[in-house]
Amino acid sequence: MARLTVYSTGICPICDKTKTLLLKWGIPYNEVRVDQNQAGLREFSQLTNGARTVPQITIDGKWIGGFTELTELHMEDKLDDLMSQA
């Protein structure tokens, strides 16, 4: 099971870009489509303190933010550290 989760919708181009980058970086992820999954929408809302935009990303259930925060973590070489922690 992947440790990183992307909460997304089917009509979000930034969600698609996020998933493409994760594949490029070789980081496995789970996707939760909040537009098709009511339980996923509730989980998304709870984990993100009511965020209203997608994508939103969690690692091991800890919210890290959206696309901008993900790319910043990667550029600062902190994403690999987060992913390597058990």
Q: pLDDT at position 40, please?
A: 94
Q: What is the pLDDT of residues 24-67, one digit of tens each?
A: 999 999 999 999 999 999 999 999 999 999 999 999 999 999 99
Q: pLDDT at position 81, please?
A: 85
Q: Model-level pTM?
A: 0.93
Residue 44 CA to residue 23 CA, distance in Å, equals 22
CATH of the domain at 69: 3.40.30.10
What is the secondary structure of 34-45 as a DSSP string? TTT-HHHHHHHH
86 confidence band (pLDDT: 50, 70, 90): low
Range of the domain at 27: 4-84
Total domains in the chain come to 1
In single-letter form, the type of residue at position 46 comes to Q
